[in-house]
Amino acid sequence: MFQNNPLLEQLKKNLHQKTPRVEGIVKSTERGFGFLEIDTQKSYFIPPKNMKKVMHGDKISAVLKIEKDREIADPEKLIEPFLKRFVGKIEKKDNKLFILPDYPLLKDLIIICYPKKKYNDSFQTGDWAVANLVQHKLNGYTIFCAELIEKIVKKNDPLTPWWVTLSRHNLEKKEPLIEKQDFLLKDHFKRRDLTNLDFITIDNVNTKDIDDALFIKESDDGDFCLIVAIADPTSYIASGSELDIIASQRGFTNYLPGFNIPMLPRELSENVCSLIPNKRRPVLACSIKIKKNGDISNIVDFFLAWIISKEKLSYDDVSNWIEQKGSWKPSTKSIEKQILLLYQLCLSRMKWRKLNAVLFKDSLEYRFQFSENGTVKNVVVEKRRIAHKIIEESMIIANIVAANFLSKHLGFGIYNIHSGFDVGNAEHAVSFLKSYNLKFNAKEITTLKGFCNLRRVLNVLSNNYINSRIRRYQSFGDFSITPSPHFALGFSEYATWTSPIRKYSDMINHRLLKSIIKNENIIKPNEEIKFKISEQRRRNRIAERDISDWLYTLLLQKKEYQNKTFSAEITDISRSGVRAKIIENGANVFIPALFIHPVREELILNQETGKAFINGNLHYKVSDLIQITLFEIRSKTRSIIAKPNH
């Protein structure tokens, strides 16, 4: 009687439309219940029984209901699953395979419904794999189910942090492999013969992909003439070739703790193109005149050449010799002269930049040390020394003149840009600075000149707290096809071309510079390649950070670090606690609010100001140095929990 009744169908439809529904992101908790976050201000409770239908991070629509006088969300429809392609750890039970996703808030095993036959035999508990989620409970299935795609690494392999992280971010694990590797010079344009000049390279001792060599001479009036010679991989790689496409997809050589994954085949990057000492190599070169006061003149010449590097020097040896430490000394008087002139140029440019641009302060760098089987042994602290600055200043000069050259002849290229403050953040920055009696206005600091002046004032003030707050208001660095300022460096335009073995953006600029030299037809890079390079850089940086976090959890589990007091700098304050970096080794730690003060109502943690108050009194602020002890190393989440030593 009621079957196919149109009135009943209409009634159901009306009831469905009137039932309140919301869309949001599922956030799970340690205790089984969750919340449906609609926005930053509004969320709805999801009881444990309803959480069984969804996963943390799922975007869903839910029906709002009243249960026990409380409004709850009942998941109804999946809009976008959090898990799609994911990495996880295998568990084998009763000859069935399960996978536990490698995400902190996903704690339930997912059954492997569609394993390829070979996987049933090859996988054991503790192995790592890549999988696809193929069944979700909100899509009408009774279980969550995944399909195995790829085996990553076996249980307890020392290289697990690298292979799992690279798989998670879908990044390459090996150098490019192409069937035909005919690394023959394809560029037969006439080159200047500079093989008689005393070019030198300065790098880390173990660097193999050497892409820059320098030669300098001093004129009678005390000015400098610097020739920067850069390895020329584009002379071996045709535009649009298989290898060129691979390089464009990788974007960069991926430098990770312990090793790198090159953008180009090692035979090319570490041999054929590398500016190895005493080997004749083709280069793209630039001759630049720099006045003795550090000002770069307009006398600039880009050209193709042949060079022979006379010696590979190391940062430490050169720095020690300049600082009169140790026993090393240059092998010849001509090499000694090159080092001294480069040192003079470096000092001149640093002085110029301090007055006219932005001179950034030195920061500590941390390098992991490994045993022969790949396990982490220690972390060493490395400071940027004078030889690093010599190379840095030379490369900055080369990149400034390349940007000017591209702008003058083409009006496009791949430029590195930084826009300083947007208008809104400039207002916030000015308001903050005013509270410290630093008087600036928003219009002023949104200009390149005004921004540089602000940075110089802050450098003189040398207040780490003020610096950290101002950095929060600044924009991030990016790439642009057209010329635009780089506020953080203090230059009106900046385009890198000095690392073409390691960066695809530099390969693009090489081709543009060479096209100008050869007077060839020039194709403007499209916006898509800019976004592609930017995204690849972001993924590489996240992967490096994730591997480092994992290695720190492995290192700090050792007995010698238990009950040890560390000095740490507070880097962030949020509602849940304080983040800090251990000065000794660079590890990031988290201090929960409960460890700061046991009475939560008496504790205020303000992320906007970067300050923590107890009973209204300032207790901590970002940039403070505090003493801490490690409390817990959480291997599953790769996080380190610490307690302050009150």
> Nearest-CA neighbor of 227 among 242, 208, 243, 214?
214
Within a 10 A sphere around the Cβ of 93, how many other Cβ atoms? 10
Please give the structure tokens belonging to residue 123. 């996988």
Total domains in the chain come to 4
pLDDT digits (tens, 9 = 90+) for 150-181: 999 999 899 999 999 999 999 999 999 877 66
| Residue 141 annotated to the active site | no
Catalytic member of 315, 415, 494, 504 = 315
pLDDT digits (tens, 9 = 90+) for 349-379: 999 999 999 988 888 899 999 998 888 999 9
Say if residues 174 and 168 touch (Cβ distance below 8 Å).
Answer: no
Catalytic member of 502, 511, 579, 638 = 502
Cα distance between residue 516 and residue 198, in whole Å: 27
Catalytic member of 127, 209, 317, 506 = 209
Residue 483 forms part of a structural domain? no
Please give the structure tokens belonging to residue 502. 């390691």
* 131 and 223 co-located in one domain: no
What pTM was estimated for this model as a whole? 0.91
Structural domain including 100 reads: 85-157
Give me the phi and psi of 178, to 5 degrees please. Answer: -125, 150
- Residue 430: the pLDDT is 96
Q: Across the strands, what pairs with 100?
A: 89
* 61 and 139 co-located in one domain: no
Domain holding 62: CATH number? 2.40.50.140
Residue 13 forms part of a structural domain? no
- Furthest CA-CA distance within the chain: 109
| Residue 436 annotated to the active site | no
- Residue 68: the pLDDT is 80
Please give the structure tokens belonging to residue 426. 């400039």
Residue 452 forms part of a structural domain? no
* 529 and 401 co-located in one domain: yes
| Residue 315 annotated to the active site | yes
* 295 and 213 co-located in one domain: yes
* 124 and 238 co-located in one domain: no
Please give the structure tokens belonging to residue 528. 């898509």
* 276 and 338 co-located in one domain: yes
Burial of 508 (0-12, 13-18, 19+ CB in 10 A): buried
Cα distance between residue 46 and residue 27, in whole Å: 9
Cα distance between residue 456 and residue 451, in whole Å: 9
Cα dist from 204 to 210, 314, 327, 339, 352, whole Å: 10, 5, 18, 16, 27
Give me the phi and psi of 538, to 5 degrees please. Answer: -60, -45
Cα distance between residue 101 and residue 107, in whole Å: 8
Catalytic member of 58, 127, 212, 624 = 212
Catalytic member of 58, 127, 211, 232 = 211
| Residue 422 annotated to the active site | no
Q: Tell me the average confidence (pLDDT) per consecutive run of 10 residues in the chain, 646 residues long.
A: 56 58 91 88 91 94 89 94 95 90 88 70 89 94 93 93 96 86 83 98 95 96 96 95 94 95 95 96 98 95 98 97 96 97 97 92 90 91 95 98 97 97 94 95 95 94 94 94 96 98 97 95 91 96 96 94 94 96 97 95 95 96 97 92 92
- Residue 15: the pLDDT is 46
If DSSP states are collapsed to H, E and C, what string results for 83-115?
CCEEEEEEEEECCEEEEEECCCCCCCCEEECCC
Q: Across the strands, what pairs with 417?
A: 478
CA 318-321-326 angle, to 5 degrees, is 115
Q: Across the strands, what pairs with 331?
A: none
* 277 and 346 co-located in one domain: yes
Give the position of tokens 């429809």: 77
* Helix (H) or strand (E) segment spanning residue 117: helix 117-122
Cα dist from 448 to 311, 395, 425, 490, whole Å: 40, 21, 15, 7
Residue type, 153: V
Concatenate the DSSP letters of all residues of 445-464 into one string. HTSHHHHHHHHHHHHHHT-H
Residue 567 forms part of a structural domain? yes
* 71 and 90 co-located in one domain: no
Domain holding 112: CATH number? 2.40.50.640
* 311 and 330 co-located in one domain: yes
- Residue 94: the pLDDT is 85
Residue 353 forms part of a structural domain? yes
* 31 and 52 co-located in one domain: yes
* 226 and 262 co-located in one domain: yes
CA 493-496-502 angle, to 5 degrees, is 160
Residue 438 forms part of a structural domain? no
Residue 477 forms part of a structural domain? no
From 80, 108, 127, give the residue that closes a domain: 80
Give the position of tokens 């970067």: 610
* 24 and 110 co-located in one domain: no
CA dihedral for 433, 435, 439, 443, sign (positive or negative): positive
Residue 393 forms part of a structural domain? yes
Cα distance between residue 607 and residue 473, in whole Å: 13
From 545, 566, 587, give the residue that closes a domain: 545
